[in-house]
A = this chain, B = another copy of it.
Amino acid sequence: MIVDRRIGLFILMRESLLTLTLLGAWDVFVVVMFQVFHQDWMEQPTLPVSLLGSAVALFLGVRNNAAYGRWWEARTLWGAITNNCRSFGRQAGSLLGGRPDLACAMAAYPYALRAALGRLDGSADVSRLLPPEMQGAIAGWNNQPNAILYQIGLAVNEEVARQGIDGAVHGQIDRILSDLANAQGGLERIRNTPLAIQFSLIPRLVANIFCVILPLSMVQTLGWITPLGSSLVGLLFVALDKIGSDLQDPFDNSPHAMPMRTMARTIEIDLLQPVDIPVGGPLAPVRGVQS
């Protein structure tokens, strides 16, 4: 996630450079053809640009709302991971009477989840935090974060039996684990269900066609300054499409992705400080991007 506005503007410009160049080149080509070589077939007074424009706007509007909705839902679900990890930490301290190993195991959970969502290797962080016996127990499972929750559930169960803790209190801890499972499932749902292909492919196609037609419809009235007008409008539509495609996959390895690593680190700090395990500071953004 980009957190520095200047660098963000720079990144956006770098990403748009190719499109801008192509667009500008085509616009210049059209205007030269028309003004210098007088290609009459280009003289299309009223190509239905405005109808096309409103259809494109309709497509992009629906898509961008959906993409933003996905991104914000993903962020909200990570928020739920944060909250419930913290609540588990409080419960481990108060209801279970302190169990630093369980706080550590829970601190490993967001790292494992981040690795699974981003299809990365997270074993370094997980093996740093997860108690060794749990590491053995979850080896070979398909769904590593779910396996960690399962093992924590077993450990809580044993602790409850050992201390003779009341069932209602046990139920309250189990509810937090279920809430974590719900949030994790929601994140997996967003990763496994890409935005319907109609929404991700067609808007891009249509916006590009629109950009090709645009200068043809303007060249007669605007003449030599066509590229200015046409590129500006075209760039806007391309930018609208780009916003949608940047946001629609929040776990991708891009500067626009959710800062899962930073958030996992925050959870680790919130879990380990109360049980007096030394832990470093939060992650700083690298070149304006929080990863």
Where the two chains meet, the residues of A that have a C-beta atom closer than 8 Å to any C-beta of B are 1-3, 5, 8-9, 12, 44-62, 64-66, 68, 71-72, 75-76, 78-80, 82-84, 86-87, 89-91, 93-95, 141-143, 146-147, 149-150, 153-154, 156-157, 165-172, 174-178, 181-182, 184-186, 188-189, 193-194, 196-202, 206, 209, 218, 221-222, 225, 229-230, 232-233, 236-237, 239-240, 242-243, 246-247, 256, 269-270, 273-274, 281-282
A156 to B68, CA, bound (A): 41
Q: Does B167 contact A75, Cβ atoms closer than 8 Å?
A: no
* Residues of chain B within 8 A of A169, CB atoms compared: 167-168, 170-171, 174
Closest-CB distance, A196 to chain B (whole angstroms): 6
With A5-B201, A193-B75: A177-B48 Cβ-Cβ less than 8 Å = no
A3 to B191, CA, bound (A): 12
Q: Does A174 contact B91, Cβ atoms closer than 8 Å?
A: yes
* Residues of chain B within 8 A of A47, CB atoms compared: 222, 229
Q: Does A86 contact B181, Cβ atoms closer than 8 Å?
A: yes
* Residues of chain B within 8 A of A60, CB atoms compared: 58
* Residues of chain B within 8 A of A247, CB atoms compared: 196
Q: Does B270 contact A146, Cβ atoms closer than 8 Å?
A: yes
Q: Does A12 contact B197, Cβ atoms closer than 8 Å?
A: yes
Shortest beta-carbon contacts, A-B, top 9: A166-B167, A83-B185, A168-B168, A167-B168, A8-B197, A79-B189, A94-B157, A171-B172, A55-B236
Cβ contacts A to B, 17 pairs, < 8 Å = A12-B198, A44-B222, A45-B221, A48-B222, A52-B233, A55-B57, A66-B68, A68-B196, A71-B196, A76-B189, A141-B273, A142-B281, A166-B166, A169-B170, A169-B174, A199-B243, A206-B236
Q: Does A65 contact B64, Cβ atoms closer than 8 Å?
A: no
A18 to B172, CA, bound (A): 56
* Residues of chain B within 8 A of A198, CB atoms compared: 12, 239, 242-243, 246
With A83-B185, A141-B273: A174-B174 Cβ-Cβ less than 8 Å = no
Chain B residue nearest in CB terms to A201: B9
Partner of A149, one of B90, B146, B167: B90
* Residues of chain B within 8 A of A222, CB atoms compared: 44, 46-48
* Residues of chain B within 8 A of A68, CB atoms compared: 62, 66, 196
Chain B residue nearest in CB terms to A61: B58
A61 to B61, CA, bound (A): 9
* Residues of chain B within 8 A of A93, CB atoms compared: 150, 153-154
A170 to B189, CA, bound (A): 29
Q: Does B256 contact A196, Cβ atoms closer than 8 Å?
A: yes
A168 to B10, CA, bound (A): 56
Q: Does B95 contact A157, Cβ atoms closer than 8 Å?
A: yes
